[in-house]
Amino acid sequence: MAEPAQGGLKPSQGGRRRWRPQWTARMALIPAMTITIVCFYGFIIWTFVISLTRSRLLPVYKFTGFDQYFRLFANERWWTAMQNLAIHGVLFIGGCMLFGYLLAILIDRGIKAEGLFRTVFMLPLSMSFIVTGVIWQWVMNPGLGLQEAVRALGWASFEFNWIVRPDRSIYTLAIAGIWQQVGLCMALFLAGLRNIDPNIWKATRVDGIPVWRVYLHVITPMLRTVFFTVFILMSAIVMKAFDLVVALTGGGPGFSSDLPARFVVDHILNRQELGLGAAGAFVLLCTVIAVISPYIHFELRKERGGRGH
Amino acid sequence: MQYNRLALYGLLGIAALMVLSPVFIMVSTSLKSMDEIRNGSIFTLPADPGFAAWGKAWFGDCAKTLGDKCGGLSSSFLTSVKIVIPALALSVGLGAITGYALAVWKMKGANLMFAALLVGMFIPPQVTLYPLIIMIRELGIFGSIGGLILVHVIWGIAFTTMMFRNFFKTVPQDLLKAARIDGAGFWRLFWHVMLPLSLPILGVAMILQFTYIWNDFLLGLTFGGRSGQPMTVALNNLVGSQFGEKEYNVDMAATMLTALPTLAVYLLSGRLFVRGIAAGAVKG
Amino acid sequence: MNGVELCNVTKAYAGLTVMENINLEIADGDFLVLLGPSGCGKSTLLNMIAGLEPATGGAIHINGRDVTDLEPDERDIAMVFQSYALYPTMSVRKNIGFGLKMRGMPKDEIEQKVAEVGDLLQIGPLLDRKPSQLSGGQQQRVAIGRALVREPSVFLFDEPLSNLDAKLRADMRIELKRLHERLGRTIVYVTHDQIEAMTLATRVVVLDRGAVQQADTPENVYRRPANRFVASFVGAPTMNFIDGKLMQSGDDIVFDSGAGALPLVDVPVGARDLIGRSLTLGARPEHLLFDPAGIASRVLLAEPTGPDQYVRLAVAGSELTARIGPEQPFKSGTDARILIDGARMSLFEPQNGQAITLG
């Protein structure tokens, strides 16, 4: 049936006499449109094209098919980086969500000085990954940092030298990463908790259900879209993770804490392996798309649903 | 019930302590002398706090570095300021106009374009890094502040547009109709009606964009060259340089100096930051 | 001609035609109410007159000028919205003056006009407040002021009273009517509220499913509905409908529903031609008359409303609602005798619901 006024300000059709604001609106979109088309999608295609060539220091357009991808998948450092991405991803995302949710629940229990706690937990968010990396590098310094401080307290055999151990360095990334991002997860979960109808709480109190059971069986299932969003956001952060590795471990010792994002930048900027770096970048993009596409789908569906009535 | 409350505050207190201790360690280390650092614990307060390390971090140590520069952060601080102010103004301004055009002036393909822009926010910068280098070099602004500003605008537009579009979408249609009937065109509707309405969102977008641009490392590293080194890059170089003995107090002072502007903005803006961070979270 | 004229106006969304060939003439100074259920297209029609939505086909004339392709601000109209749509960041003064400012009127002139309108609507003391500091009724006045100050040749109202509570709505209705009588400007007014339509309009256009069902004076829309839709949409409680035939019974004419014969009184002469045909009879609740000469019926429920009572009756295989004064209370389960005021009844074709005009 005739849905009134749904369309908003639509351009009139037919004879055109004077300059129409709709045309100005179109022109105002030109800069953003250019950036989107050229700098986002055009450049993705360009990178893909480079990945099909044997470019090293400079782009040369001699195509070698998927050679660079074969080289990439035969590259041990790449696989270390990918493996690290998986380990770091699980620890970082899992840790952020777990601790973020717990903090949000604690804060939501009706505490005093809520603003203070919230400010504290979100404080690291305002600092850069570089700052975070440098601070934690110092804290985890095996000679003068945490290890030494605990030993000085009397626990002589205490060991916390992960940052210099090739088999442990990747875990230090998760520690620093969680420290920085847990506040964001907390804020998102807290917003979700605050959105829950207070009558739900009244109902469970009338029914005499213990608080922890309410969180486990009632509240948590209600927050599944929040969990989904947080998961996606944290994944996006993990896959772009570059600064933190550079500042915290420098990818080391050796390449033991390398990540794909760093691998790509290193090969493009420092190692004159443009083709290989481009191939790595493209694989990285495919990983991102695989994780993000359900989210984009979800957002757009929400958008469409929201405009119904 | 009482014990429950006690446990609640206990847990929160421990968590707050864990979050704050690295910050505390950074500050206290920066106020110590190297001797004290070598012989003491990272958790102790400085016995004789002094700002010597801060001075060194800011002005550099002319005895140690080669060349004419002393390696302090003061010059890169200035660079960061020169980058962040125009990049902030341009990316927020362009985002506001684009978001307004997309949300209010329903055009064919507006939703498609918004979706394309939204996806753009998730693209890892590494993927488009090399073509961007070539573009900036062809424009003749590689290694300059101008180049970095442009790159920040390109990378910021998706986020700022999203913030403003989503806000302007919530403005009632009737209000827009009333303004059209009153005779306000594209720019006058924006200037007289929409922009005054969006002041809170404008604040949020400015604060977050400031934080993102100031904290950026990859773009500064790639496009800054020697003359356009922002503070994060300079900090990383300072900490990573291997000349002589490592001075942890100077490192921490430099870290503190780098973190200070965004920390200050965060603490002063409070609620706005919290409000925006959820919306802008995708930026990471 | 002056006023507003719609010629074959058509509206389609994404190829789906929702309105076809709407023709309307709104005379200069008319208070025209577009009445219909939600989704009937009345707001779309108003938006097309305003230029906020383009017409897919046809032409719109305002004061003899073809405005079909003009922007809203070029059409010499002003509009008042259900949500008031005041600019939240501007003071009342700025809100009212905004349209004049956009047209480049000098400041002191704007100031003077705003003051005049402020006096007229008695919102002078509020001029320096922000909309958020005003009550709903005050906001509505400001919205009307914003339209008045421009002195357009046509005012468009989009359900302007729907957001007000019942008492305020009644007050504003009176005020709008006074305003129209005083200014004499053309008004096109959209509502789904039939009371507003009946009280305010000089002409009512009833719309349903994107088509004009009837365009006439409020009295005629009520007394002589053009079809079953109009008959059932206008009037509360709604009109009673009974399917059956007119039959001769001695000297009288009765309406035979198959389950009983309802006696009619004062039947117009022309109705005799229809005897034996299948018809739908429509009788408003006040046209069911309690009379010892009537047919026996059973009282199912009586609802006193204060000035009236609505009596639900089972009679001749149907349930009918009658309206009567409160003096004589009815009790459920008792019997009552009724007949139908034939002079005021409506007759419809059972197939298409069109009204049958009696000669």
In angstroms, the separation between the Cα of residue B82 and the nearest Cα of chain A is: 18
In angstroms, the separation between the Cα of residue C207 and the nearest Cα of chain A is: 11
Q: Is residue C357 part of a domain?
A: no
Ranges assigned E (strand) in C27-176? 31-35, 57-62, 65-66, 77-80, 154-158
Buried b (16+ CB within 10 A) or exposed e, C238-260: ebbbbebbbeeeeeebbbbbeeb
Domain count, chain C: 2
**For position A190, which CATH number holds?**
1.10.3720.10
Is pLDDT of B278 > 70? no
- Nearest alpha carbon to residue C150 among C114, C177, C186: C114
A5 close contact with C: CB closer than 8 A: yes
- Chain mean pLDDT for chain B: 86
Q: Are residues C260 and C182 in the same domain?
A: no
Q: Are residues C206 and C267 in the same domain?
A: no
Q: How many CB atoms lie within 10 A of CB A161?
A: 15
Q: Is residue C30 part of a domain?
A: yes
Q: Which domain holds residue A140?
A: 86-259
Domain count, chain A: 1
**For residue A36, what are its two tokens?**
């989107």
Q: Are residues C135 and C167 in the same domain?
A: yes
Per-residue pLDDT at B64: 55
A309 close contact with C: CB closer than 8 A: no
Q: Which chain A residues touch C70 with a CB distance below 8 Å? A: 12, 17
Mutual orientation of helices B248-269 and B271-279 as an angle, nearest 10°? 90
Residues 167-226 of C with CB under 8 A from A: 209-210
What are residue C354's DSSP bridge partners?
Answer: C227
Contacts of C347 (CB under 8 A, 6+ apart): C271, C274, C279, C280, C281, C282, C355, C356, C358
Per-residue pLDDT at B206: 92
Q: Are residues C164 and C34 in the same domain?
A: yes
Q: Are residues C94 and C216 in the same domain?
A: yes
* Interval A25-83: pLDDT, tens: 999 999 999 999 999 999 999 999 988 888 888 877 888 888 889 888 888 899 999 99
Q: Is residue C96 part of a domain?
A: yes
Q: Is residue C57 part of a domain?
A: yes
B225 torsion bin: left (phi>0), alpha (psi -120 to 50), beta (else):
left
- Chain mean pLDDT for chain C: 91
Per-residue pLDDT at C107: 94
Question: What is the CATH code of the structural domain delimited by B74-283?
Answer: 1.10.3720.10
CB–CB contacts below 8 A, A to B: 278
CB contact under 8 A, A17 and C11: no
Q: Is residue C353 part of a domain?
A: no
Which of C194, C228, C262 is where one domain is finished? C228
Range list for CATH 1.10.3720.10 in chain B: 74-283
The CB-side HSE value for A48 (13 A sphere, CA atoms) comes to 9
Residue from the list B20, B153, B255 with its beta carbon closest to the beta carbon of A131: B255
**For residue A145, what are its two tokens?**
């940092």
Per-residue pLDDT at C7: 93
* Interval B61-103: pLDDT, tens: 665 554 445 667 888 899 999 999 999 999 999 999 999 999 9
Q: Are residues C140 and C54 in the same domain?
A: yes
Confidence of residue A303 (pLDDT cuts 50, 70, 90): low
Q: Is residue A252 part of a domain?
A: yes
Q: How much is the average pLDDT of B189-212?
A: 91
Q: Are residues C60 and C191 in the same domain?
A: yes
What string of H, E and C letters represents the secondary structure of chain A?
CCCCCCCCCCCCCCCCCCCCHHHHHHHHCHHHHHHHHHHHHHHHHHHHHHHCECCCCCCCCCECCCHHHHHHHCCHHHHHHHHHHHHHHHHHHHHHHHHHHHHHHHHHCCCCCHHHHHHHHHHHHHCCHHHHHHHHHHHCCCCCCHHHHHHHCCCCCCCCCHHHCCCCHHHHHHHHHHHHHHHHHHHHHHHHHHCCCHHHHHHHHHHCCCHHHHHHHHHHHHCHHHHHHHHHHHHHHHHHCCHHHHHHCCCCCCCCCCCHHHHHHHHHHHCCCHHHHHHHHHHHHHHHHHHHHHHHHHHHHHHHHHCCC
Q: Are residues C247 and C223 in the same domain?
A: no
Mutual orientation of helices A114-122 and A169-194 as an angle, nearest 10°? 150
CB contact under 8 A, A1 and C52: no
Contacts of A164 (CB under 8 A, 6+ apart): A142, A253
The reply to whether omega before C225 is within 30° of 0 (cis) is: no
Per-residue pLDDT at C16: 87
Per-residue pLDDT at B50: 83
**Least confident range of A9-13, A292-296, B145-149:** A9-13
Q: What is the DSSP letter of C231?
A: H
Per-residue pLDDT at A297: 78
Per-residue pLDDT at B277: 66
CB contact under 8 A, C210 and A1: yes
Q: Is residue A130 part of a domain?
A: yes
Per-residue pLDDT at A112: 86
Q: Are residues C87 and C184 in the same domain?
A: yes
Interface partners of chain B (CB pairs < 8 Å, 3 or more) are A, C
| Three-state SS at B194 | helix
Question: What is the per-residue DSSP string for B8-71?
Answer: HHHHHHHHHHHHHHHHHHHHHHHTS-HHHHHHS-TTSPPSS--SHHHHHHHHB-TTTS-SS--B
Which of C172, C195, C228 is where one domain is finished? C228
CB contact under 8 A, A7 and C53: yes
Q: Is residue A271 part of a domain?
A: no
- Nearest alpha carbon to residue C204 among C183, C179, C235: C235
Give percent above pLDDT 90 in chain B: 45
C94 close contact with B: CB closer than 8 A: no
Q: What angle do CA A41, A47, A51 make, to 5 degrees?
A: 145
| Closest CA in chain A for residue C52 | A9
Claim: this prediction has a pTM higher than 0.90: no
Is pLDDT of C112 > 90? yes
Q: Is residue C354 part of a domain?
A: no
In angstroms, the separation between the Cα of residue C41 and the nearest Cα of chain A is: 5
CB contact under 8 A, C39 and A14: no
Integer Cα distance of A217 and A215 in angstroms: 6
* Interval C43-83: pLDDT, tens: 999 999 999 988 999 999 999 899 998 889 889 999 999 99
Backbone angles phi, psi at B270, to 5 degrees: 50, -105
Q: How much is the average pLDDT of A174-197?
A: 91
Is pLDDT of A15 > 60? no
Q: Is residue A240 part of a domain?
A: yes
* Interval C162-220: pLDDT, tens: 888 888 899 999 999 999 999 889 999 999 999 999 999 999 999 999 999 999 999 99
Q: Which domain holds residue C300?
A: 240-348
Per-residue pLDDT at A306: 46
Q: Is residue C234 part of a domain?
A: no
Q: Is residue A159 part of a domain?
A: yes
